[in-house]
Amino acid sequence: MQSDIADRYRLLGAPHNMTFPSSTTAETDADAVDTVAAAAGSSVAIVGRSPGQLMWRRFRRDRTGVIAAVVVLAFILIALLAPVISWAYGKNPDDYYGLNQPGLLNEYGYPILPNGGISGDFWFGLEPLVGRDVLTQLIYGIRTSITIALIVTVLSTVIGVTLGITSGYVGGKVDYAIGRVIDTLLSFPSQLFLIVLVPVVDAALVLPTQEPPTWLRFVSICIVLTVLGWATTARLLRAQVLSLREREFIESARVTGASPARIIFKELMPNLWTPIIIQATLALPLYVGAEAGLGFLGVGMPEAIPDWGRMFLVGSNVYHSDVTYLMFPGVSMLIFVIAFNLLGDSIRDAFDPKTKR
């Protein structure tokens, strides 16, 4: 609280901050003005700000968070622009350059040039044995990772939030049933289940005699990660709702005859956004790692789709002779996951300055 007040005083000098609240945020702004007026107890001109604005303001002051956000955005941009980049660079992730052009790979299938065949033509070198271009593999691989991680984060958050709120709000038998499912899911050896379930879901979608389509693994991985992922969010939300349900403002809403829908969406939800967003930012890098882990264990994306996990698999087979190849997916993923974790920490701090880490 104290830092917030100091923040407001400091920013009072900046004219572009002296905007008036828009009509959509007027209600919460009025609150903010009240608190500030009471706390500051001075006659300085006071600017009302919504909780969202306050959060954004706190976030911008956190230098680590801003740098992390820039790095994460850069990764997303590279993923989006992968076709443009590979067009400008003149290579694609699918061609076996090393096999088609003589003089790139030696008789054992390793790049002839040192450091994994890094050269003016192949900036990040060549994949051993088949001779695909590493740079384009890498930037198309970001797409696979981020797409899967995003889809799974959204799905598991939606399912977790829905079931968590239902369980906490309705209570009774529903709560007991959902609670037992959550307990069971969380006591599963989930990583073991992850690898084991992917082929099972494959087999559920397609007959063993059919040729598996390329989208199959994508769908299976998303389903499995979601099924094993929602329980943590649900348990968190259930606990939050259980404690909020007994508070006076919910009680008064109920007494004044508010419908359950209104209580959930208008009274509970505004208090739940913070834990939901924090949980989602914590989960996303885990899903990036899990997806790559599946690829590493050989149950990831098929050969036709560039994937970081498979790059790790290839890299761990060839590192005795060509350690450079492993460095590219390894370092890229390390940077991405660190940046995302730091971003998550900063978002948590910005939303909830009281929590100490």
Smallest gap from residue 33 Cβ to other proteins (A): 35
Distances in Å between the Cα of 114 and the Cα atoms of 104, 107, 118 are: 11, 15, 7
Which of 195, 219, 264, 277 binds other proteins (CB under 8 A)? It is 195
Min dist CB 195 to other proteins, Å, is 5
CA 224 – CA 207 distance, rounded (Å)? 18
Shortest CB 108 distance to other proteins, Å: 16
Which residues, other chains included, contact 170 with Cβ-Cβ below 8 Å and sequence gap of 6+? none
Interacting positions 237-296 with other proteins (CB under 8 A): 285, 289, 292-293, 296
Q: How many residues bind other proteins (CB under 8 A)?
A: 50
For residues 310, 312, 315, 320, the Cα torsion angle rounded to the nearest 10 degrees is -140
Kindly state whether residue 319 participates in binding other proteins, applying the rule CB under 8 A.
yes
DSSP-derived 3-state class of residue 111: strand
Candidates 189, 246, 304, 354; binder of other proteins (CB under 8 A) is 189
List the one residue from 139, 198, 272, 280 that touches other proteins (CB under 8 A).
198
Q: Which residue type, as a one-letter code, is found at position 246? A: E
* Residue 227 and residue 188 in contact, taking contact as beta carbons nearer than 8 Å: no
| CA separation for the pair 33, 46 (Å, rounded) | 7
Segment contacting other proteins by CB under 8 A, of 11-19, 79-87, 213-221, 341-349: 341-349
Angle, helices 51-61/324-351, rounded to nearest 10 degrees? 130
- Distance, in Å, from the CA atom of 134 to the CA atom of 115, rounded to the nearest integer, reads 12
70, 200, 251, 269: which one binds other proteins (CB under 8 A) = 200
Q: 3-class SS at 96?
A: coil
User: In the set 191, 214, 243, 259, which binds other proteins (CB under 8 A)?
Assistant: 191
Here the tokens at position 333 are: 């993923």
Q: Which is nearer to other proteins, 167 or 332 (CB)?
A: 332
Token couple for 116? 């994994």
From the CB of 133, what's the least distance to other proteins, in Å?
A: 21
- Residue 250's region, left for phi above 0, alpha for psi from -120 to 50, else beta, is alpha
Which residue of 83, 114, 199, 213 would you call a contact of other proteins, by CB under 8 A?
A: 199
207, 255, 261, 304: which one binds other proteins (CB under 8 A): 207
Q: Which residue, 160 or 285, is less far from other proteins as judged by CB? A: 285
**Distance, CA of 229 to CA of 251 (rounded, Å):** 32
- The interface region with other proteins, picked from 35-43, 166-174, 272-280, 322-330 by CB under 8 A, is 322-330
Binding window for other proteins (CB under 8 A); candidates: 22-30, 55-63, 130-138, 335-343: 335-343
Q: Point out which span in 86-94, 108-116, 186-194, 215-223 binds other proteins (CB under 8 A).
A: 186-194
Question: CB of 288 within 8 A of CB of 149?
Answer: yes
- Contact mark string toward other proteins, 10..49, x via CB under 8 A: ----------------------------------------
Q: Which of 149, 161, 182, 201 is in the footprint of other proteins by CB under 8 A?
A: 201
- The minimum distance between CB 292 and other proteins, in angstroms, equals 7
Are 283 and 153 contacting, i.e. CB atoms less than 8 angstroms apart?
A: yes
In angstroms, the CA 185 to CA 177 distance is: 13
In terms of Cα–Cα distance, which of 4, 3, 2 is closest to 54?
Answer: 4
Question: Which neighbouring-strand residues pair with 133?
Answer: 126
Among 142, 329, 343, 351, binds other proteins (CB under 8 A): 329
Chain residues in the site for other proteins (CB under 8 A): 180, 183-184, 187-201, 203-204, 207-209, 285, 289, 292-293, 296-299, 312-313, 315-316, 319-320, 323, 326, 329-330, 333-334, 337-338, 341-342, 345, 356-357
